[in-house]
Amino acid sequence: MDFDFKRDGLRLHGRYENQRTDCQNLVILMHGFTGDLGYQPTDLLAQLASQLNQQGLATLRFDFNGQGRSEGDFDQMTVLNEIADAQAALSYALKTWQPKTVSLLGHSQGGVVASMLAGYYADLIDRLVLMAPAATLKDDALAGKTRGLIYDSHHIPDQLPIWSGLDLGGFYLRTAQTLPIYEVAQRFEGPVCLIHGIGDVIVSKQASERYHDVYADSELHLLPDADHRFSGSARQPAVELAINFLRK
């Protein structure tokens, strides 16, 4: 079921799927940088949602502001307002479907958002899965290198062209430099599953290793043949790790 919800006047688009008549256990899934909720059956979040539904878990996916079918301008997107998007999705889900448990799953930048939301709502979140969480975005912003583009980290431009027709806002980079990613994340003391590809050239596995160091209850899975998107033969092993962890 597709639906819309609001965050600070912006219309955000989501998808709720459940094979049960009631909502016992809900998993909220969060996509990465420039991504969407997974409209194609070959998309990572779509495959995760499908297999979670088969295991009797409800799923909620949504497009962050300025991406997919949600309103907003991409050059106004920041990790901070993506956390606000995720909080709005969580609040909407709690009010609408009243799940008994809520778990979070995030991929790439969505992993950073999920980790921080779990820290802010440590009393409400049951389990957490982070797949190739892009916590290195802070280090990249401090070093003045984001998505392969080089800039002066002490004099950040108003916009940074990522590719033709798509600009990253300077405020994204300014706020990224000071994000308390691990400090907030470690407030969540529930079970955490970290999944990262050793072949990931976009986000170093050190990001997941550092998460593993700060969490009170985490398991770390480093997949030798996996890239950032868990493509090809690495996809199903990564998905199965997440599914098995969340259905416990």
117-127 pLDDT per residue, tens: 999 999 999 99
Please state the φ and ψ torsions of residue 244, each to the nearest 5 degrees. Answer: -60, -35
Residue 136 has pLDDT above 80, yes or no: yes
Q: Count other Cβ atoms within 10 Å, centred on residue 168.
A: 22
Instruction: Tell me the per-residue pLDDT of 141-177, one tens digit each, with 9 for 90 and over.
Output: 999 999 888 999 999 999 999 887 899 999 999 999 9
pLDDT tier, 207 (very low <50, low <70, confident <90, very high otherwise): very high
Please provide the average confidence, as pLDDT, over all residues in the chain: 97
CATH of domain 2-136+181-246: 3.40.50.1820
Q: Output phi, psi for 210, to 5 deg.
A: -70, -40
Instruction: Please check whether residue 154 is in contact with residue 118, taking contact to mean a CB–CB distance below 8 angstroms.
Output: no
Q: Report the alpha-carbon angle 169-162-48, nearest 5.
A: 95
User: pLDDT (tens digit, 9 = 90+) per residue, 31-75?
Assistant: 999 999 999 999 999 999 999 999 999 999 999 999 999 999 999
Q: What is the pLDDT of residues 10-39, one digit of tens each?
A: 999 999 999 999 999 999 999 999 999 999
Element (H, E) at 16: strand 10-17
Q: Quick check: helix, strand or coil at residue 181?
A: helix
